[in-house]
Structure 1
């Protein structure tokens, strides 16, 4: 095995460990978020994507699921008064989806109500290990942008 292939294999194993850790710890949190908002988590995820700025349906579809499912979800959220669509200022064919005040209140309430603490294994890391982990994750995050 070449050095490159060995490194890739180790990177893949570490990635799978990270993904497994996240997947194993998110189910309960997602259930609590859905209970707090009375919405399926897929709808809440769309609302969260809109907190910082409006997005087009295409942008939402890329970051959440496929286009038809995103359209159905946005229609539902619009019917509930949580999002609204406006013409895109630079693209006549696109609509921007943004949070309504009610949608923003719902997300703020969920954030206050449902804690999103790190799992115990992460909380038990030393300050040095946490600093290393932060540095590594920031490096990975900045290279993905």
Structure 2
């Protein structure tokens, strides 16, 4: 996807006037305050994020088994979803307390019997089901 985007925007390279890796795309994310998160990281601009989100969403809807496209969609849109979730939690007294205390959830802090007593379809029940299915991965 990045190669397609780079080749589509290559004619616009002359507008930036710069040469080198950062000049491949004229709206490089570093110009918008995005820093390097890790070695080899290529910051993306809001335009690039929008194009990646739209393309990956379309491909993920077309073929849900394209896990890479689902991951790209999550990477490009997750920031706003997490920010919205945080703001909603801040508005709720219990959510604000959780954000302030920042508790760690581990197998030693969970009351598995209480989770089993929760109604079917609740978050606690689904988390317990997740643990039952994936617990071998934790200890392997």
Shared fold by TM > 0.5?
A: no
Bigger RCO (CA 8 Å, 6+ sep):
1
Instruction: Specify which structure has the higher proportion of strand.
Output: 1
Larger radius of gyration: 2
With the shorter chain as reference, the TM-score category is under 0.3
Q: So what's the TM-score if we normalise by structure 2?
A: 0.24
